[in-house]
Structure 1
Amino acid sequence: MENKKFDVIIVGGSYAGLSAGMALGRSLRNVLIIDNGKSCNRQTPHSHNFITHDGRSPGEIADMARKQVAKYDTVEFYESTIVKTKKISDGFVVETSAREKLYAKKLIVASGVKDIMPDIPGFAECWGISVLHCPYCHGYEVKNETTGILADGDLAFDFSKLVFNMTKDLTLLTNGKSVLTPEQIEKLNQNKINLNENEIDRIEHENGYIRKVLFKNGDSVPLKALYAKIPFEQNINVSEDLGCEMTEQGFIKVDFMQKTNIPGIFACGDSVTMMRSVANAVAQGNFAGAVANKELSDEAF
């Protein structure tokens, strides 16, 4: 694999990367999809809100996609981790954890993000199972259940509106004294949303399914689901290595063509948007692949 050259290297082989790979494979482009097999939703038992695949496991959808993309003989797969990327005169060089250097005319970043878990025992074990990031992906399955939200401030207030549509048995957990305004607290009270400012000690669960949240003062709150907004970081450092512009929220900044500010680099999927869904990743990847192919066609004509 060392020193091999491709039309396009796709960093990340989940839904966005695979979708881009299919678009490029069908366009007869020589493509390498590099992935380390550690998708952020690997604990999630079921994926939803993706028409034709609603209720399948994320792994099942990805396996099916990988088999379909592999039918295009110009597409190769390589299991590895990217440690460095660099712009060169005629494209890009990608260095893997095995210190191999691979070359491409175009680069599609579909490597996603890494969630940073809070230091709360039980949280990581429940993440993606009963501690949830998105009501669009999982809200229907826990509708009308006893539900919590772990967040604070404006984010917590706005997120409460969204979750309140799915259940009226709702508690907002700020894990310490909240920074909500008096007006926001009054609105929560009007909608009978409980505000709990106790510091969390741990989450009690059974095989990832939450039973209750226990607080440091000895109190507890029984829950069937807990939504949480937690920080994240990009899986590869395209900002430092390549100079890709980032948004204030920490996403790779792209235009409506999935192009970054660096010519020849595209980005799609969880790396670029807070709308973390399979359907959205597939759509963005398909489009990024098509636009990359258009650029290659224009340059060769």
Structure 2
Amino acid sequence: MEDKNTREVIIIGGSFAGLSAAMTLGRAMRNVLIIDSGRPCNAQTPHSHNFITQDGETPAEITKIAKEQVLKYPTVSFLNDKVLSGKKIDGHFELQTESGQVLIAKKLLFATGIKDRMPDMEGFAACWGISVIHCPYCHGYEVSRQKTALLANGHDALHFAQVLSNWTKELVLFTNGPITLDEEQQEQLTKHGIKWIETPVSHLLHTVGQLNTLVLSDGQEHAFKVMYARIPFDQHTDVPADLGCTLNEQGYLQVDEMQHTSVAGIYAAGDNTSSGRAIAIAVAAGMRSGAAINYDLIADSW
């Protein structure tokens, strides 16, 4: 195992969680390789908020600064590549990359995030992360007190409506088909002045990602500058599952409080483990996983 392709830790994913873990491990003088393919899910998000000292900065700029700081640690290196497969052999992990490299590590951290599954709705993908948003804690202040659309149904719709009522009193729920809330839940919406429209949304009219109008399947048009939505997702990579890591009912990698997955020696942190999709949360999880990995490496040698 002692060659240039061997590391103590390989981190798959070089965004906020991965870079945070790499800094923690670099400061513990661990030999670390970060592998990243350069396709973050927040690529078109114009601003990041609720991350102290970087409020309002672009995700790309925060990542750039973080990468520069992390790579100042001499035991941390970075590879622009994609991991295609992995296997566990004799207590270590062997990874195969898209460029044909075979890399070996004692520990693996998957900080690979998730891939949003865009609905078949013209204009949605172009607006996603700009004016069609997922999180009021990340973006709500900038669009507060505005007439706001919510694209959701079922339990998610009620919960999301409750949360969003803190940011706006002009909320309209678009269920994109027959409402699936029961009578009592519908009464809660009515009590708080939240109307709902069941006619499916056909497409969105926008200007370079800035929402203008929701067009329904019957031709009705509703003017909105902001819409929240909950959409399904896939893991960015199947490699953790192929290695035996358990996914929970929501499709996230199952981890404990120190970011251990169900497979010894494999850790996960960031959006691939939690619905809390904020930079601050990812950074915290990354540092926690880095500390856990370092302690486990120490424990292995005692």
Q: Is the 8 A contact 1:201 1:214 kept in 2?
A: yes
Q: What is the CA deviation profile of residues 232-277 of structure 1, one whole-angstrom value per residue up to 9, with x for unaligned ones?
A: 0111114531110111000000001110111111110001000000
Query: Partners of 1:60 and 1:267 in 2: how far apart?
Result: 24
Q: Is the 8 A contact 2:153 2:175 kept in 1?
A: yes
Q: What is the CA deviation profile of residues 9-52 of structure 1, one whole-angstrom value per residue up to 9, with x for unaligned ones?
A: 00000000000000111111111100011111111100001111
Q: Give the match for residue 188 of structure 2.
A: 187
Q: Is the 8 A contact 2:84 2:239 kept in 1?
A: no
Q: Give the match for residue 257 of structure 1.
A: 258
Q: Give the match for residue 141 of structure 1.
A: 142
**SS where residue 271 of structure 2 aligns?**
helix
Query: Partners of 1:99 and 1:114 in 2: how far apart?
Result: 24
**SS where residue 8 of structure 1 aligns?**
strand
| Range 28-37 or range 178-187, more displaced | 178-187
| Range 211-220 or range 180-189, more displaced | 180-189
Q: Give the match for residue 233 of structure 1.
A: 234
Q: Give the match for residue 164 of structure 2.
A: 163
Q: Is the 8 A contact 2:38 2:80 kept in 1?
A: yes
Q: Give the match for residue 84 of structure 2.
A: 83
1:101-116 aligned within 5 A: 101-116=102-117
Q: Is the 8 A contact 1:239 1:246 kept in 2?
A: no
After TM superposition, the score normalised by the length of structure 1 is: 0.98
1:216-227 aligned within 5 A: 216-227=217-228
Q: Give the match for residue 122 of structure 2.
A: 121
Q: Is the 8 A contact 1:130 1:210 kept in 2?
A: yes
Q: Is the 8 A contact 2:7 2:31 kept in 1?
A: yes
Q: Give the match for residue 42 of structure 2.
A: 41
Q: What is the CA deviation profile of residues 146-187 of structure 1, one whole-angstrom value per residue up to 9, with x for unaligned ones?
A: 101111001101110000110011110111111111111111
Q: In the TM superposition, what is the alpha-carbon distance from 1:300 to its structure 2 partner?
A: 2.2
1:2-17 aligned within 5 A: 4-17=5-18
Q: Give the match for residue 247 of structure 1.
A: 248
Q: In the TM superposition, what is the alpha-carbon distance from 1:200 to its structure 2 partner?
A: 1.1
Q: Give the match for residue 266 of structure 1.
A: 267
**SS where residue 204 of structure 2 aligns?**
strand
Q: Give the match for residue 278 of structure 1.
A: 279
| Range 291-300 or range 166-175, more displaced | 291-300
Q: For the aligned residues, what is the CA RMSD? A: 1.1
| Range 33-42 or range 90-99, more displaced | 90-99
Q: Give the match for residue 19 of structure 1.
A: 20
**SS where residue 203 of structure 2 aligns?**
strand
Query: Structure 1's 237 and 3: CA in aligned 2 closer, same or farther, altered over 3 A?
Result: farther
Q: Is the 8 A contact 1:131 1:210 kept in 2?
A: yes
After TM superposition, the score normalised by the length of structure 2 is: 0.97
Moved over 2 A (4+): none
Query: Partners of 2:172 and 2:44 in 1: how far apart?
Result: 25
Q: Is the 8 A contact 2:241 2:247 kept in 1?
A: no
Query: Partners of 1:244 and 1:238 in 2: how far apart?
Result: 9
Q: In the TM superposition, what is the alpha-carbon distance from 1:278 to its structure 2 partner?
A: 0.2
Query: Partners of 1:87 and 1:110 in 2: how far apart?
Result: 19
Query: Partners of 1:113 and 1:93 in 2: how far apart?
Result: 23
Q: Is the 8 A contact 1:3 1:103 kept in 2?
A: no
The alignment-based identity, stated in percent, is: 48
**SS where residue 269 of structure 1 aligns?**
coil
Query: Partners of 1:125 and 1:166 in 2: how far apart?
Result: 24
Query: Partners of 1:85 and 1:119 in 2: how far apart?
Result: 33
Q: What is the CA deviation profile of residues 52-71 of structure 1, one whole-angstrom value per residue up to 9, with x for unaligned ones?
A: 11111101100000000010
Q: What is the CA deviation profile of residues 113-139 of structure 1, one whole-angstrom value per residue up to 9, with x for unaligned ones?
A: 000000000000000000001011001
Q: Is the 8 A contact 1:3 1:101 kept in 2?
A: no
